[in-house]
Structure 1
Amino acid sequence: MDKNKSIDHQLRATWQAVAKMYNEQAAKHDSTMATAFALLNIDFENGTPSTALGPLMGMEPTSLSRLLKTMEDKGVICREKNPNDGRSVIIKLTDFGKEMREVSKGHVYQFNNKVREFVSEKELESFFKVTQTINKIISDKIVYGDEDINKQAV
């Protein structure tokens, strides 16, 4: 199959270009795209339970732990005991973290606004519909029938 007509190739190549662009911007602030993404997923006022942050970001606990440690070392977040559950912590933004969150948000808006200058609303609606359909096909496991394969492997 021609890679230019392969859906997964186009998705991956586009995401890699977006990630590179965001990482280049983040580097100007001594940060990374992963840090910026985390900042955008932490509730600005109340913080976010650490157990909820991983699923929001699609990250495994080990990777998230490393990222949060780095963010804490840089002073953009702090951890507080969860008053509703003594076993978990709330990740809160520091004042510096709130500033960096706004910087990150600005870069996301700038990218989205620039794309909207070149892509019509109708094209964007189609794009979102296609990506939602792809995600549904994957989450419903109807590409390879993964559920049946896993049962056979046991």
Structure 2
Amino acid sequence: MKDKTIDYCLRATWQAVMKMYNEQAAEYDVTMAVGFALLSIDPEEGTPSTALGPRMGMEATSLSRTLKTMEEKGLIERKPNPADGRGVLIHLTEFGLEKRNFSKDRVVTFNEAVRGNISEEKINNFYEVIETINDLIQNRRVFNQKETAIK
């Protein structure tokens, strides 16, 4: 993979991770997106629907579709937010908690497998590289902004 670009390696690896999680999730009639949403919802207090999108990095349309599917499957229920009369809290049902535990188990198993095969030093280097890439992107330090605006 030495001749591959960084973005190619990130994309290919993420695609492999998504495929792995989707294969696991399909056995339990859910998707990786649903599993990720289950893990993003506070199991005790619920989570404001407006906080889920940013937490999961999902656009509103995709999130709405995912939440609708989850509600139809009986994984979540929407309740008024007592702190904000206009808002809605997403709460897990008992069935949702069960699926959340399954999802959490799969994430922990994956992380244990990776950590069992890669040294702590390499894991720390990986996190450092990912943090730097995110910083470059978030602080718009990849492309010259004037150059981008002209094109």
Question: Under a length normalisation based on structure 2, what TM-score does the superposition of the two structures give?
Answer: 0.95
Q: Which consecutive residues of structure 2, in runs of 5 or more, have no partner in the other structure?
A: none
Alpha-carbon contact 1:4-1:10 (below 8 Å) kept:
no
- 2:42 matched to which residue of 1? 43
1:69 and 1:126, CA in 2 relative to 1: closer, same or farther beyond 3 A?
same
**Displacement of 1:128:** 0.3
Output the aligned Cα RMSD. 1.6
Separation in 1 of the partners of 2:49 and 2:27?
27
Q: Within 5 Å, which residues of 2 pair with 1:46-57?
A: 46-57=45-56
1:65 and 1:110, CA in 2 relative to 1: closer, same or farther beyond 3 A?
same
- 1:5 matched to which residue of 2? 4
Separation in 1 of the partners of 2:47 and 2:108?
22
The one-letter code of the counterpart of 2:95 is F
The one-letter code of the counterpart of 1:19 is M
**May I ask how many residue pairs the two structures share in their alignment?**
151
**Cα deviations across residues 58-81 of structure 1 (Å, max 9, x unaligned)?**
011111011000000000000001
Separation in 2 of the partners of 1:138 and 1:114?
29
- 1:96 matched to which residue of 2? 95
**Cα deviations across residues 85-111 of structure 1 (Å, max 9, x unaligned)?**
121100000000001000000000000
Q: Which consecutive residues of structure 1, in runs of 5 or more, have no partner in the other structure?
A: none
Question: Under a length normalisation based on structure 1, what TM-score does the superposition of the two structures give?
Answer: 0.93
Separation in 1 of the partners of 2:79 and 2:34?
19
- 1:123 matched to which residue of 2? 122
The one-letter code of the counterpart of 2:27 is K
